[in-house]
Amino acid sequence: MLYLSLQTGCVVATIFVYLAECVCSVSAVSYFAESLLKEEKRKHREASENLASERGASLEFHEPAGEQPEGQNNQSRDSRGGNSADTTLNGSPHGIGTNYQLSSQERPLMQ
């Protein structure tokens, strides 16, 4: 009877250890993926800023949606005076959630 009790205790302990390892692995992978995504967004933003400066364009920074000061219109205008309707995700022409738009006539070509 004692042997069966010890064996059951070991199985239960092994299951708890396995579950704890799974939780730690998932959180570690999640943290790594999040930091990698932030790094890629930073690199893309820097590359876009460098491309804009090479072409002589200026970057217009916009407040994220819902966080603009009162009294300001949410629509942005490009350098031609029209609405910037060629955005994709989160108001970004690049589709990764950055909050800036190129204001020059030349916009980078997506390939």
Three-state secondary structure along the chain? Answer: CHHHHHHHHHHHHHHHHHHHHHHHHHHHHHHHHHHHHHHHHHHHHHHHHHHHHHHCCCEEECCCCCCCCCCCCCCCECCCCCECCCCCECCECCCCCCCEEECCCCCCCCC
What does the domain layout of the chain look like in residue ranges? 2-65+80-102
State the pLDDT at residue 1.
Answer: 67
Q: Is residue 58 over pLDDT 60?
A: no
In 3D space, the residue among 109, 19, 1, 111 whose CA is nearest the CA of residue 55 turns out to be 109
Q: What is the mean pLDDT of the chain?
A: 69
Q: What is the pLDDT of residues 72-84, one digit of tens each?
A: 444 444 454 544 4
Q: What percent of the chain has pLDDT over 70?
A: 47
Q: Is residue 33 over pLDDT 50?
A: yes
Comparison of pLDDT for 96 and 17, the residue scoring more: 17
